[in-house]
Structure 1
């Protein structure tokens, strides 16, 4: 049997150290109930404390444990539903960030080849030189990467499950 504390005035039930606030009914005048293992006691606002024995558990303690278990299960179900509802938007946001990062990297690589780890300055200089040498080529590279980015973003927007979002492979031709 569990360790149980009940404080009706505070709408508090604690089972094995886990506290929940919930609505429940209790006998009139019950200030608190304490139970640990095989025994416990009740504290009353209008009378003396009363000892509880193992024989009292089913009638005196178990209803509070049952109420606590039902409330805990309800909260866990609510949390699971909320997590499921957030999963797809969270997956879409993460994949969108991955797509944008891939776009930025592909554009930087296209402007700075053969530099392995281009800096912002390398990208700026590469873009300026590319624009001077081949403005149409620069426009083509930007449009090609932007079209791929938009294609990937559309696939993410159309995905109806987390798995479908995660299946979108982020790749750019560089």
Structure 2
């Protein structure tokens, strides 16, 4: 059996420690119902408390447990639907961030080779030197990385499922 608390005025049913607030029907004047293990009581606004025994469970307590279960299931299904609806946009957002980060890393690596951990200053100096020494080559490298970035972004945008988004492999020629 369950531990149950019902407070109709607060639209509250607590079952085994999990509280749910929702609309439900209760007898007029019922202030609260308490049940633990194999006994409980009802509290009435216009009258004395009444004890509940195991024999009362099916009629007095079980209907509230059933209402609580139905509401809990409804909320879980709604949460699952919302999570499923957010899964694809969230996957795309994460993959786009990966594509853009990859682009930045590829461009930095192309401008600062052979530095393993180039700083922003290294990138700026590398770009300036590259532009001076081989402006056409710099334009080629930039356009090549940008084309790959745009290709990856288009693949992410076209993906219709989370698996299709995950299948987009972020790689750049460096």
Q: TM-score range by the shorter chain?
A: over 0.9
Secondary structure at the counterpart of residue 6 of structure 2: strand
Secondary structure at the counterpart of residue 129 of structure 1: helix
Counterparts of 1:101 and 1:79, CA distance in 2: 32
- Deviation sequence 1:91-122 (CA, Å, 0-9, x none): 00000000000000000000011111111111
Secondary structure at the counterpart of residue 83 of structure 1: helix
Equivalent position of 1:46 in the other structure? 46
Equivalent position of 1:15 in the other structure? 15
Query: Gaps spanning 5+ residues in structure 2: where?
Result: none
Counterparts of 2:24 and 2:102, CA distance in 1: 54
Counterparts of 1:9 and 1:114, CA distance in 2: 71
| CA root-mean-square deviation | 0.5
Counterparts of 1:113 and 1:82, CA distance in 2: 46
Does 2:42 align with 1:59?
A: no
Counterparts of 2:26 and 2:125, CA distance in 1: 76
Counterparts of 2:31 and 2:114, CA distance in 1: 77
Secondary structure at the counterpart of residue 134 of structure 1: helix
Tell me how far 1:137 sits from its aligned partner.
0.5
Equivalent position of 2:136 in the other structure? 136
Secondary structure at the counterpart of residue 49 of structure 2: strand
The within-5 A match list for 1:77-96 is 77-96=77-96
Counterparts of 2:101 and 2:22, CA distance in 1: 46
Equivalent position of 2:125 in the other structure? 125
Counterparts of 2:17 and 2:131, CA distance in 1: 68
Counterparts of 2:6 and 2:56, CA distance in 1: 15
Tell me how far 1:169 sits from its aligned partner.
0.2
Counterparts of 2:149 and 2:72, CA distance in 1: 45
TM-score, normalising length from structure 1? 0.99
Tell me how far 1:55 sits from its aligned partner.
0.6
Segments of 4+ moved more than 4 angstroms: none
Equivalent position of 1:99 in the other structure? 99
